[in-house]
Amino acid sequence: MKRRPLIIGAGVAAALGGAGIALRDSRKKPLSPAAEKFWASHFEVLQGGELSAASLRGKPLLLNFWAPWCKPCVKELPDIQQFAKETPGWQVLALALDSREAVQVFLKQLPLRLPLGLAGLTGFDLVRILGNTQGGLPFSVVFDTDGEIVWRKLGPTQLSELRELTVQDFGVSRHSY
């Protein structure tokens, strides 16, 4: 008899906790179609194999589209590499919009130590879906920890601009575009 109120109390606490979790999860906004499309994507990697975009989800992600023939892209790549080096709480992915061969030749001239993927020329379709209707390069996108797009930039970025992104709380806030 003395245990019954304790057992009932534990049951009520568990039910309330479960209800709270369900309520919190039901309030999460669905992702935009553009974000959904990105997270469902797969990209080649230079060493062979495939990279699933979904494997990068859960931390803020800086996604940069570039090409070896794009002078502003080449100029900003060292800043993106430095950003990747100094922000361990972030994911960074540079997607090349060119052939494997062209990227490999380029990397012999400017070796990069940051995560690279190959989107090929079909990557321009993804660029447009993510909000760059002009299809110009370079193009950068930031996703928050929920996987939603929170920042876009057409044109070269600078390290100081990227550093400013780290002071924003992309794990909580959502910006609409």
Q: How far is CA 165 from CA 83, 88, 111, 152, 171, in A?
A: 10, 14, 25, 11, 12
Q: What is the pLDDT of residue 32?
A: 97
Separation of alpha carbons 173 and 127, rounded Å: 24
Q: How far is CA 69 from CA 18, 115, 126, in A?
A: 54, 19, 19
- DSSP letter (8 states) at residue 94: E
Per-block mean pLDDT, blocks of 10 residues, the chain (177 long): 55 54 59 98 93 96 98 97 95 97 96 94 95 96 97 97 86 39
pTM (2 decimals)? Answer: 0.81
Q: What is the pLDDT of residue 128?
A: 97
3-state SS, 117-141, equals EECCCCHHHHHHHCCCCCCCCCEEE
Separation of alpha carbons 93 and 95, rounded Å: 6
DSSP lists the bridge partners of residue 117 as 95
Grouping H, G, I as helix, E, B as strand and the rest as coil, residue 9 is helix
Q: What is the pLDDT of residue 47?
A: 84
Q: What is the pLDDT of residue 121?
A: 86
Tokens of 140: 């950068």
